[in-house]
Amino acid sequence: MLEAVELSGGAVIVGREGIGKTALVNHVAAAVTDRFHVVYVRGSTVSARSSYGALGWLLSDLPEGILDNPVQVLAELKTYLRHRAAGKPVLLVLDNAHELDPQSQMVTAQLAGQQAVTLLATTPDLLRCGEGLVRLWSDGVLRRTDLGPLENPDARALMETVAGGRLSALAVRTVWADTQGNPLFTSLLCRDQIAAGRIQHRGGTWTLTGPLTYAGEISDWMESWYRSLPAPERRVIELASLCPGIPVGTLLDVADPDAVDALEERDVLRVSPQSGSVYVRERLYARLVARLVPVGRSFDLWHDLLATGPDLERFPDTAAKAYASWSAASGARLAPGLARRAGAAAIAAGDPEAALKISEAVPDYRSNPEVMLERGRALAALARIQEAEAELEAVVLLGEPATTVAAHLELALARCTLPHPAAAPATSITAAENAAAALPADSRKSAGQCAVVIRAALAVREAEPRLLPQGLERIWEDRSVAEAIRLMAGAAHAQALAMAGRSDAAAAAAGRLWNDLQSAEYLPHLHGGEILTGSISAYILCGDFTTALEVITKATGLRYLDAHLDSWAELPAGIVHALSGRADAALAYLIPACRQLESKDPADLLPLAYAAAAYCYAVKQDWDRMRETLVAAPAFRGRPATSVLAVTKYFRTAAALEGKPAAGAARPLVVQGREAQRRGSFAEAVLCYGAAAIAGDRTAAGLLAAVSASGTGDAARMYQQLAAGLQQQNGPLLLDAAGRAVHLGNYGLGYKAAQAAHDAAAAAQDREMVRRSRVMANECYRYLADAHSIGHRLGQLSEFERDLAVRAADGESSIRLGSALHLSSRTIDWHLGRIFQKLHVSGRSELRRLLGGQVIGVEKGDAKPSGK
C-alpha cells in the first residue's frame, strides 16, 4: 500500500463495512505524513444530497460563483491544494468514495488523473464510485486492494489485544463464527462479552462462560444502521433476519421487489443461486436485527408471511428451522412434519435448545414419535443423557417401526455413557435390528448399515477392536450411503486398525478419512465432531504424533472443520504434546483447555485434561504443581470411553515415574498394559509397557517385545527395537529406536532411549556409539522445549562463554584461543567442556552444524544463531 502511494497514483481499497478499510488508509496516511500533505474527505448519505457536498470544506475558501463551472472548480481546487501543500505532494484520502455526489466523484477522479493528487480511496463496491474512478483503476493509475475477513488466527490476535491476554479457542471460535472475521465487529463483540461477563478471566485465560450477548456497543452500532434504512428496505432486512434462508419467491410476496434488488446490489443480501434462498450477507447483522425487531412488529411480519400461504415443504432446512422458531416465539402451533424437519436442522446446526423449543410448539407432541425422537436426540446433544434415555424409551413404546429402530440406535449411543443404563447398549442395537425386519427393503438396508456403524463405534469406545463387526469398510466405500454414516464408518475403521496394531493400514485409512472430511459438503455438528475426533485419534493410536499435530493444525485453519472442535479445541494438541514429552508446549494448550472445560464440558473430558497437565508438571520436575493438579482433578461425571479413561490413568501413573521412582512404581502400567492386551488394544499395551520398560521394569520389556512383534508400521518397529535393546543392553538397537521415535514426534521416549543407548555403549566401551547416542539425546533434548534450543541456550551464557563457543565453532583451535585469551589450552578445553554441557552438544562439530554457519565470518559478539 505504501508503494502504491509513493510510486504510483494511489490505490482504492475495496471491502465490506467494518472490514478495516478506514483503519488501513489512516495507518498509511500516518506513515507518509512527513512526506505528503494529507487531505481527508469522507463521503456520506447526507453530503451526497448536494453538489460538491463532501468537498464543501475545501471549496468554502474559493471565490463565489464558480461552482457552476466544473472546469473552473477543478483549476481553483488544484491551485488551493498546491498552496496548502507548500511544496509537498498531496495525498487525498477519500473514505466512502461510493457516497460522493456525482460532481465530487468527477473532480476527485480528475485530480488523480491529472496527477495533482495521489488518491487513497475506500469503498465496498468500486462500480458505485463513478465512471472516472473506475477508469483510473482500469487504466492502471490506481491499484485495487480487496480486504477480506480475518481468519481465525488473526481474529485471535485482535481479540487478545482487546482482552489484554490469552483467550480460549472456544471463546475465539464463537465470536469469530458470528462476526465472520469482520475486524470491527470482532473487536466490538469481544468487548461487549467481556463487559457482560460472558467472557471471563480465569486462571490466566479468558474463557467463554455462556451464550453471547448482543447488547452494548455493537447493538448500538447496528441499531443506528438499521434505523437509517428506508422503510421498504428495513422490512426486507427484518424478514431475512427473522427467517434466514427464506425462498426468494416467498420474500417477494411480502416485500418490495425494488428494495430486495437494491439490497442485493449493495451486497447486503445474498441470494443462493442453487436454492434461491435469501440471507443477510453478514450473519451478525441478521442476529442483531432479529433482536431489534419489537415483539409486536415480529408478530405482524409473521402474520403477513403466513397470509401469503407459503409452501413450507419447499422451504430449505435452514429456513424451516428459522420459520419454526419464529412461529414458536409468536405463540403459534406447528405441524408435526415441519417441527420434525426443523428440529433435525437445529440439531445438525449445533442448536439443540432450539429443537426442544420447536417440539414444544406441536400440539400433543408426546403422541408423535417423530417429534419425540428429535427431542431425544436434542437432549442427548445437550448431554442430558438420562432425560434422553427416558424420551427415547417413550418413542419405542409408541411402536411406530421406523422411529422404533432409530430410537433403539440412539439409545445404544446414549446408554454407553451412563454408569447404570436401563439396558446394555448392545441390547439396544439388537432390538433395533429386530425391529428393522418390519421396514421396507431400502429402509431395512439403511437401518442395518446404521447398526453396523454403531456397533463399530461402541467397539472403538470400549477399546476392543476384536468386537468390530464385519462389513464396516464396505459401508465406508459405498458412496450411496449417507455421508455422515459413511464417514463414521471410516472413522471407526481407522481407529480399530490402529488399536489392533496395524499402523500402516490405519495411517492410510486415516489419511483417506481426512481427505473425505475436507471434501464433505455438509455434516451435522455432532457427527462432524465424532468423525474429526476419529481421524485425529487414529494417528495418535498409530503413535504418529507428528501427523496428528499436522491434522489438528489444518483442522483449526479450515472454516468448515474447525467448527467441530468446539469446546475441546485446545485439548487434542495438548494431549499429543504431552504424549510426545513436550511439557511446555502441552501446558500452553492444556491450561486454557482446563479453564474452558471448567465452564463447559459436554464430553466429560476435564479429568483427562487435568491428568495430562499433572504429567507435564512432573516432566518439568514441578512436583508441587503436579500434586495440586492431581488433587484438584475432578472425577468423571459419567462412564467415559475406555480410551479416554486409559490415557487418563496412563498420565497419572507415568507422572510418578518422572522423578526417582520407588521400586515397583511402574507396576500399575504393567497391569494396565496386560488389561489392554487382553482386550486386543495393541496401542494402549505398547504405550504402557514402553513407559514401564524405559523406567527399568524388565518384565515390561519382555511383555513389550512379545506384543510389539504382532504389530506393523513404524511405531511397532520402534517398540520392537526398544524392547530388544533394553533386554540385550544393545546400544545400536536403542539408538535406532530413538531415531524412529524422533521421526514419529515422540521426543520424550526418543530422549530416554538415546540415554539408554549411551549407557549401554559406555558399558561396552564403544566410544563411537557413545558419541552418536549423545548427539541423538541432545537432538531430542532440544525438541522437548523451546528453552532447550541452541539459540536460547547461547543467550543464557556469559559474554565470555558465548564468544568462546562461537569462535570454537568457527574452527579456532584451543591453542589459538588460549593464546588470544592468555589462557592455557587445557583451561580453554575445560571451559569448552562446561559450555558444551550447558548447550547440550557433544562437541565443536555438532555446535557448528547447529549454528548452520551463521556465525562464521561475523563479529563474534554479534552472533545470532538459529532456534534449533
Q: What is the pLDDT of residues 363-388, one digit of tens each?
A: 999 999 999 999 999 999 998 999 99
Quick one: pLDDT at residue 568? 60
In a domain, 366, yes or no: no
Range 818-836 average pLDDT: 83
Quick one: pLDDT at residue 856? 38
Quick one: pLDDT at residue 795? 76
Domain that holds residue 446: 396-470
Range 103-120 average pLDDT: 91
Say how many C-beta atoms besides its own lie within 10 A of residue 604's C-beta: 19
Pair 16, 100 in one domain: yes
In a domain, 376, yes or no: no
Cβ–Cβ < 8 Å for 428, 454: no
Pair 623, 758 in one domain: yes
The residue out of 470, 496, 528 marking a domain boundary is 470
Cβ–Cβ < 8 Å for 53, 64: no
Strands (E), 551-641: none
Say how many C-beta atoms besides its own lie within 10 A of residue 709's C-beta: 13
Range 800-806 average pLDDT: 81
pLDDT category at 562 given cuts 50, 70, 90 is low
Pair 429, 405 in one domain: yes
Range 611-617 average pLDDT: 96
Half-sphere exposure of 152 (CA within 13 A, CB side): 21
Q: pLDDT above 70 covers what percent of the chain? A: 96
pLDDT category at 324 given cuts 50, 70, 90 is very high
Residue 521 has pLDDT above 70, yes or no: yes
Quick one: pLDDT at residue 9? 84
Residue in 798, 793, 868, 799 with CA at minimum distance from that of residue 837 = 793
Pair 249, 118 in one domain: no
Quick one: pLDDT at residue 858? 36
The total domain count for the chain is 6
Cα distance between residue 616 and residue 575, in whole Å: 10
In a domain, 478, yes or no: no
Cα distance between residue 671 and residue 689, in whole Å: 9
Pair 56, 106 in one domain: yes
In a domain, 69, yes or no: yes
Residue 727 has pLDDT above 60, yes or no: yes
In a domain, 19, yes or no: yes
Cα distance between residue 141 and residue 120, in whole Å: 11
Residue position matching grid coordinates 455432532? 526
Name the maximum alpha-carbon separation found in the chain: 104
Residue 582 has pLDDT above 50, yes or no: yes
Residue 862 has pLDDT above 70, yes or no: no
Range 744-752 average pLDDT: 95
- Residue-wise pLDDT for 229-287, tens only, equals 999 999 999 999 999 999 999 999 999 999 999 999 888 999 988 888 999 988 889 99
Cα distance between residue 245 and residue 226, in whole Å: 20
Region of poorest pLDDT, from 54-58, 653-657, 687-691: 54-58
Quick one: pLDDT at residue 565? 61
List CB contacts of 75: < 8 A, sequence separation 6 or more: none
Cα distance between residue 356 and residue 339, in whole Å: 10
Pair 94, 116 in one domain: yes
199-202 and 246-247: which strand pairing? unpaired
Residue 537 has pLDDT above 90, yes or no: yes
- Residue-wise pLDDT for 47-92, tens only, equals 888 888 888 888 877 777 777 788 888 888 888 889 889 999 999 9
Assigned C-alpha cell, 57: 470544506
Quick one: pLDDT at residue 855? 43
Cα distance between residue 809 and residue 811, in whole Å: 5
Pair 295, 193 in one domain: no
Cβ–Cβ < 8 Å for 490, 509: yes
Q: pLDDT above 90 covers what percent of the chain? A: 61
The residue out of 766, 784, 802 marking a domain boundary is 784
In a domain, 760, yes or no: yes
Cα distance between residue 754 and residue 776, in whole Å: 6
pTM of the prediction? 0.83
Pair 291, 229 in one domain: yes
Quick one: pLDDT at residue 230? 93
The H or E element that residue 17 is part of is none
Pair 740, 776 in one domain: yes
Pair 198, 301 in one domain: no
SS3 417: coil
Cα distance between residue 749 and residue 741, in whole Å: 7
Considering only CA atoms, give the Rg of the chain.
33
Determine whether 639 is exposed, middle or buried from the number of CB atoms within 10 Å of its CB (0-12, 13-18, 19+). Answer: middle
Pair 767, 624 in one domain: yes
Phi first, then psi, for residue 602 (nearest 5°) are -65, -30
In a domain, 413, yes or no: yes
Average pLDDT along the chain: 89
- Residue-wise pLDDT for 46-55, tens only, equals 888 888 888 8
List CB contacts of 701: < 8 A, sequence separation 6 or more: 689, 693, 723, 726, 727
DSSP-assigned beta bridge partners for residue 246: 278
Residue 350 has pLDDT above 90, yes or no: no
pLDDT category at 564 given cuts 50, 70, 90 is low
Amino acid of residue 769: M
From residue 455, alpha-carbon distances to 372, 413, 541 in Å are: 24, 9, 20
Pair 725, 829 in one domain: no
pLDDT category at 311 given cuts 50, 70, 90 is confident
Cα distance between residue 201 and residue 25, in whole Å: 34
Residue 814 sits in a domain of what CATH number? Answer: 1.10.10.10
Residue 362 has pLDDT above 90, yes or no: yes
pLDDT category at 861 given cuts 50, 70, 90 is very low
Cβ–Cβ < 8 Å for 793, 784: no
Residue 45 sits in a domain of what CATH number? Answer: 3.40.50.300
Q: What sign for the dihedral angle of Cα 643, 648, 649, 654?
A: positive
More confident residue, 50 or 763: 763
In a domain, 477, yes or no: no
The residue out of 128, 146, 164 marking a domain boundary is 146
Quick one: pLDDT at residue 561? 67
